[in-house]
Amino acid sequence: MTAPRPALETATMVRAGEELAVDVLEHHLAVIDAGEEAVHAFNLVLADAARDQARAVDARVAAGEDPGPLAGVPVALKDNLCTRGVPTTCSSRILDGWRPPYDATVVTRLVEAGAVVIGKTNMDEFAMGSSTETSAFGTTRNPHDTSRVPGGSSGGSAAAVAAGFAPLALGSDTGGSIRQPAALCGVVGMKPTYGTVSRYGLVAFASSLDQIGPFAHTVADAALLFDVIGGHDPLDSTSLHRPTPRVLTVLDDGVDGMTVGVLTEFLDGVDPDVAARVHQAAEALAAAGARIEEVSVPEVALGLSAYYLIAPGEASSNLARYDGVRYGLRVDAEDTVAMNTATRSEGFGAEVKRRIMLGTYVLSAGYMDAYYNQALKVRTRIIEGFAAAYTRCDVLLGPTAPTTAFAIGAKVDDPLTMYLSDVCTIPSNLAGHPAISVPFGTGDAGLPVGVQLLGPALSEGTLFQVAAVVEAAAPALPAPRLTTGAAS
C-alpha cells in the first residue's frame, strides 16, 4: 500500500475541481469494506450520509464556491462527539442508540470547512481506558498487528487513520487518549492547550482535563485539522478568548536556535526500544540546529496519582446524568431509585463503575481534603515544575507511551497496570498544556513507536514546528497489514 495521500492535497484537489469528493469518499469506503472486519475501528460507518455530504461539496465546487480547507476530506469522529440525529454511544450500552438532537461545535466547524463525516469510531467506554478494550461493543485491533491493542481511549480513531479508512480523525484526550493510541498505531496525534478547542458537544469525562484533538498521518494534516476546529466558542465557558495559534503556516520554520529538553523522568521505566527512539529523535533535532538538554521535572512523577483522583472525581459527577430518566437505556423497576440503580448497573461496564466509585469516594465527606483537594495542589506543583523547565527550553521531548502496543487482554484484568500506560501523557492534561505524538520508527517487535513533544500553554506553533522536523527525520513505518504479527 502506498503512503496515503495527505488530506491537505486532497482538499486542494477537490477545491480546484481536480478530484470529486464522492470519488475520494468511495475510495475510503472501499478500504473500510476490505479492512474493517479485521480492525473494528468503527461503531458506525455513515456511508449514505457521507455520500450526501460529498455530493454537496462537489455541487458547491461546481457552482464556483469554495467549500473550505477540508473540502471532500473524510473525517472519522470518536463516538463521544455529538452528531445530530446520528447515534453517539461513547461505546457504552447506556447510550446505545441515543441520537443527539444537536451537533458538537467541532462537528459544525468540520462540516462548514467541507469535511465529510465518514463514521463514528470505537473507544474505551466513556473514554475510560488506554486500550479500547473497555468498549461495550468489542475492542478495536491495532492495524499493525491485530492481536494487539490500538491504545485508548481513542483507539478507533487512531486505527481508522492508521488503516487508511480516513485521512483524518478526531479524538479526545483526558490523560493521553489521543497521543497514546497515536503512538501505538503509528500516526500523528495531538492534544491542544486546554480551552483552545470547544468542548461543547463532547460527552464529558473529566471536564477540567478533556480536550478534542486531531489524528492524521502527517504533522501538516494534523495542523490543518487543528486550525479548523480551534478557536473561541461562546457555548463553552472554558473556551479561551485569546487567539488560538494558527499552525499550518509555521511548519517549515525549523528548529535552529531552539532548546529541546529531554525529560528524564519520562524515560524512567520505559522500554529500551522506545527510549532508543527518543534519543534518536533528539539527535535528529540536534542535527537540525536545536540545542538538546536533559531536563528534570520531578513533579511529574506525582501526575499519575493526582490524575487518578481528579479525573474519576469529576467523572463520577459527569456520569450521574445517566439515570434512565431522559434518554438512553432504562431498566424498569418499582421505584425511581431502583430504576436508576438497575439501569446504571446494567448499562455501565466494569471500568466505568470502578472510576465512578473511586471518584465518589475521593469526593465524599471526610476524604475530600485528603484526596481531591490534595490532587489539585499537586497540579499546581506540576504547573510550576513545567514553568521552571520552560525558562530553559522551548519544548520538552520524551516518549509518548512506555511500551509499544501490548497484546489484547494483557492488562485488562489489572487496572493499575493499565493506568501506568498514561504516565508520560497525564502531566500535560493536568497542566492544560499542548503535546503532540509523532511516529518515529518501530520498536523491537516491529511495532510503531511515538515520540512526544510538550510545550507551554498556547505554544502550538512551536510544537508543530518542532514536530515537522522530527517527522522529517523519522524512519519509515511499514504499512499496516491488518493481520496478527507486525511486519519486521
Partner 1 sequence: MTSGWQMVIGLEVHCELRTATKLFCGCPNVFGDEPNTNVCPNCLGLPGSLPVLNQQAVELAMAIGTALHCEIRPSTFHRKNYFYPDQAKDYQISQYDEPLNVDGHLDLPDGFRVGIERAHMEEDTGKTSHSGASGRIHGAEYSLVDYNRSGVPLVEIVSAPDMRTADQARAYVTELRAILVASGASDGKMEEGSMRVDANVSVRRSADAPFGTRCEIKNLNSVRSLGRAIEYEAQRQIALIESGEAVVQQTRHWDEGTGRTEALRSKEDAYDYRYFLEPDLVPLVPDAEWIRAVGDTLGMMPAERRARLVALLDEAGGASEAQRDQVTTVVDLGLDDLVVAAVAGGVGSGLALARTANEAATDADAARALDPKSYLELLQLEADGSLSATQAKAVLAELFARGGGDPADIAREKGFEAMSEDSLAATVAQAVADHPDEWGRYREGDDKLAGFFTGLVMKATRGQANGKAVAAELARLRG
Partner 2 sequence: MAEPARLTREDVAHVAALARLHLSEEELDLYTGQLAQVLDHAADVASLDLAGVEPTAHAMAVTNVLRADEPRPCLDRDEVLAQAPSVEDHRFRVPRILGEAP
Residue from the set 18, 63, 334, 391 that interacts with partner 2 by CB under 8 A:
334
Of residues 179, 185, 94, 104, the one with CA closest to residue 143: 185
Count CB neighbours of 476 within 10 A: 9
- Whether 119 and 168 have beta carbons less than 8 Å apart is answered as no
Can residue 249 be called a binding residue for partner 2 (CB under 8 A)?
A: no
- Indicate which of partner 1, partner 2, none lies near residue 203 (CB less than 5 to 8 Å, by partner kind): partner 1
Q: How far is the CB of 207 from partner 1 (least distance, A)?
A: 4
* Span of 57-65, 95-103, 147-155, 214-222 interacting with partner 2 by CB under 8 A: 95-103
For residue 202, what is the DSSP state? B
**Binding to partner 2 (CB under 8 A): which residues in 179-208?**
193-195, 208
Sheet of strand 259-263: strand arrangement: 42-45, 116-121, 74-78, 168-173, 211-216, 188-191, 435-442, 448-454, 395-399, 259-263, 291-295
Can residue 231 be called a binding residue for partner 2 (CB under 8 A)?
A: no
3-state secondary structure of 75: strand
- Indicate which of partner 1, partner 2, none lies near residue 278 (CB less than 5 to 8 Å, by partner kind): none
Shorter beta-carbon distance to partner 1: residue 142 or 316: 316
Active site residue 153: yes
Q: Residue count at the site for partner 2 (CB under 8 A)?
A: 74
Shorter beta-carbon distance to partner 2: residue 249 or 417: 417
For residue 306, what is the DSSP state? H
Q: How far is the CB of 195 from partner 1 (least distance, A)?
A: 10
Shorter beta-carbon distance to partner 1: residue 26 or 98: 98
Can residue 353 be called a binding residue for partner 2 (CB under 8 A)?
A: yes
* Cis peptide leading into residue 157 (ω within 30°): no
Can residue 2 be called a binding residue for partner 1 (CB under 8 A)?
A: no
Active site residue 92: no
Q: How far is the CB of 126 from partner 2 (least distance, A)?
A: 14
Can residue 344 be called a binding residue for partner 2 (CB under 8 A)?
A: yes
3-state secondary structure of 239: coil
Annotated active-site residue in 91, 172, 177, 437: 177
Active site residue 91: no
Annotated active-site residue in 92, 153, 172, 428: 153
- Whether 204 and 236 have beta carbons less than 8 Å apart is answered as no
Q: How far is the CB of 120 from partner 2 (least distance, A)?
A: 17
Can residue 87 be called a binding residue for partner 2 (CB under 8 A)?
A: no
User: How far is residue 200's CA from residue 220's CA, in Å, rounded to a whole number?
Assistant: 25
Q: How far is the CB of 109 from partner 2 (least distance, A)?
A: 18
Q: What is the dihedral of CA 40, 42, 43, 47, to 10 degrees?
A: -130
- Whether 109 and 119 have beta carbons less than 8 Å apart is answered as no
Q: Residue count at the site for partner 1 (CB under 8 A)?
A: 44
Shorter beta-carbon distance to partner 1: residue 373 or 483: 373
- Whether 407 and 148 have beta carbons less than 8 Å apart is answered as yes
* Span of 4-12, 36-44, 47-55, 365-373 interacting with partner 1 by CB under 8 A: 365-373
Can residue 333 be called a binding residue for partner 2 (CB under 8 A)?
A: yes
User: How far is residue 222's CA from residue 214's CA, in Å, rounded to a whole number?
Assistant: 6
Q: What is the dihedral of CA 70, 76, 78, 83, to 10 degrees?
A: 70
Question: What distance separates the 2 farthest-apart alpha carbons in the chain?
Answer: 70
**Binding to partner 1 (CB under 8 A): which residues in 52-111?**
80-82, 88, 90, 95, 98, 100-102, 104
Q: Grid coordinates standing for 396? A: 520538552
Catalytic site positions: 78, 153, 177
